[in-house]
Amino acid sequence: MKLSNVYKAEKGLIRVSADVDAGAIIEIRITGDFFMLPEKSVLLLESLLKGKPFERGAISLALDEFYAGGVETPCVTKEDFLSAISGAKNEV
Its CATH architecture, for the domain 2-90, is 2-Layer Sandwich (3.30)
pTM: 0.94
> What is the DSSP annotation of 28-45?
EEEEES---BSTTHHHHH
pLDDT above 90 (res 92): no
Domain boundaries, the chain: 2-90
Question: pLDDT (tens digit, 9 = 90+) per residue, 34-71?
Answer: 999 998 999 999 999 999 999 999 999 999 999 999 99
Q: What is the pLDDT of residues 16-26, one digit of tens each?
A: 999 999 999 99
Asked if pLDDT for residue 91 goes beyond 80, the answer is: no
Q: Cβ distance 17 to 29 under 8 Å?
A: yes
Average pLDDT over residues 7-33: 96
